[in-house]
Chains A and B, each alone.
Chain A
Amino acid sequence: MSESKLKRVDLIFGEYSSVKFKVLADTLKRSNEDILEDLTESGLKGRGGAGFPTAIKWKYAAETPSKEKYVICNADEGEPGTFKDREILTRVPRKVFSGMAICGKVIGAQKGFIYLRGEYQFLMPELKRELEQYNEYMSKMGFDFPIEIVLGSGAYICGEESALFESMEGYRGEPRNKPPFPTTYGYMGKPTVINNVETFVNVVMIMRLGPIQFKLLGTSDSRGSKVFSVSGDTPIPGIYELELGMPLEKFVEEFGDGDTKAVQVGGAAGFCVPRKKFTETVIGFEGVPTGGSMMLFNSSRSMYNVLHNYLEFFEEESCGQCTPCRVGCQQLRKGIVAVKKGDKQSLYLDQLMKLAESMKISAKCGLGQSVANSFSSIVYNFREEMIY
């Protein structure tokens, strides 16, 4: 068993360099083109879940002319089953700040913000202390890039980048239409790079190790490692840094309790993979992507209860701005309750699947669009559990 274990990686949580802010200092001396080239070469994709190539995002923002630009670190980690960003900000905050400062240099931004979810307010005192040290160091270096922390107030939707800007600007966290994208019209209408906490740390590690070393990890579509948040029916819940592109079967072998019937990959907004598909499923951008959330369910769990819990979550967290999401989430939840109670025939589930599919194409943002992921994968794979 021990030989077949998944390889543990120690990039993200690895020790700081012996000299304080060494990677940052070295990188700030390099040319922007050089840095972007390394990032492109590394193949780094955003770690929040959507997987947009980081180098392209930065390049777009760098190319947009503007006197004012911003770098924002999205620490509004709210996806059920995800808790890695809290761990990163607790254990290696300096790497996060350094990644943001490197981004600031490359795109020509003057200021950075960390949007921290309200549920993590308790991290503030320590983070502020760390930030003071960072700011002091930066002024000594003669590089002006202050970072400030903005605190959220308990809204899942604010993890959607444009809703996050709205929230930072003092409005309701309602997503904007896209395009325009943040790299041209972001916070305060200015070009903005917004990346996940883990993405910024990855940048620092690429700068430290070089893209070649980074590329040795993962597969051609999913370069590097990923921090996974493992929870649910597992004897060893917690945070694990693993290579991307691993087969789900191996993951279950290692983290399951021997009776795993399904794994929810990517949180409530992700996909539910049933046991019979463990062998063919790859975790990564070429297979089932994830922001890191891996929840395991064993055969004692009712998948109906699981789905009902997700739908209640979405119903409450929908911003209510667009009808497909606002009404759709309610109707999906009411619908499965009606089928379970026998008020509706089981064929009604097909209609609900169609509703979920229309939400996918008509909802305004990722929240409404991704409800169908978990809904359809659970209803399709565990249909009997929805009915009886």
Chain B
Amino acid sequence: MTANEHLIRDLVEKHGTNRTALIPILQGVVETKNFISDTDMTEIAKELDLSAAQVFGTATFYSFLSTEPLGKYVIRVCKTITCDMHGKRTIIQTIEEMLKIKVGETTPNKKFSLLETNCLGWCHEGPAMLINEKPFTGLTHERVHDIISDYISKL
């Protein structure tokens, strides 16, 4: 059994084989490897006795269930109105310059992906971003520089 198959077996064991288990299983795959591959989806379909198309249909609906490879750290910068008004563009530029990638791209070493996302629920402390599930708020050029440097140093 490959490592992937192990991962899916474990997740199925934990969440069961009902349809209600599908999203928790997909979330589990994303938590471990940051994206869901085609083989993962076929494997999950087999385990849950669904068609691969049903798994694909569900996975592709949700923005956090990526079916494209993403880096170890996924940076999601909020682009909704108040964060936009309070300097989202500067934050994006800072990150782009530091990591030498554009929005939607992943660094060649597969460590960071930079994405924009819709309202994160931190409008009073914007601009805000998530790195994986962790929120960072009240961002400024300096602050975001420190945060990303910190992540880089931890690699």
Instruction: List residues of chain A with CB under 8 Å of any chain B CB.
Output: 77-83, 86, 117-122, 151-156, 167-174, 229-233, 237-239, 264, 268, 295, 301, 305-306, 309-310, 313, 316-317, 319
The answer on a CB contact under 8 Å between B124 and A229 is yes
Please, which residues of chain A bring their CB within 8 A of the CB of B58?
170-172
22 A-B pairs whose Cβ atoms sit less than 8 Å apart in the complex:
A77-B121, A80-B81, A81-B123, A82-B121, A117-B121, A119-B121, A119-B130, A119-B135, A153-B26, A153-B63, A154-B63, A154-B65, A154-B117, A167-B23, A169-B20, A170-B23, A231-B123, A237-B124, A295-B123, A309-B80, A313-B80, A316-B118
Nearest chain A CB to B149 CB, angstrom units: 21
Chain B residue with the shortest CB-CB distance to A158 = B62
Provided the pairs A153-B64, A155-B62, A156-B118 are in contact, do residues A83 and B123 lie with their beta carbons within 8 angstroms? yes
Instruction: List residues of chain B with CB under 8 Å of any chain A CB.
Output: 18-24, 26-27, 57-58, 61-65, 79-82, 84-85, 117-126, 130, 133-135
Nearest chain B CB to A312 CB, angstrom units: 8
Q: A80-B81, A86-B121, A154-B62 are in contact. List 7 more A-B contacts (CB 8 A).
A: A119-B121, A151-B24, A170-B58, A172-B57, A231-B126, A237-B123, A295-B82
Please, which residues of chain A bring their CB within 8 A of the CB of B27?
151, 153
Please, which residues of chain A bring their CB within 8 A of the CB of B120?
119
The answer on a CB contact under 8 Å between B81 and A153 is no
Among the listed A80, A121, A122, which residue makes an inter-chain contact with B82, where contact means beta carbons less than 8 Å apart?
A80
The answer on a CB contact under 8 Å between B81 and A295 is yes
The answer on a CB contact under 8 Å between A83 and B121 is yes
Chain A residue with the shortest CB-CB distance to B124 = A237
Please, which residues of chain B bring their CB within 8 A of the CB of A313?
80-81, 118-119
Please, which residues of chain B bring their CB within 8 A of the CB of A309?
79-81, 84
The answer on a CB contact under 8 Å between A317 and B118 is yes
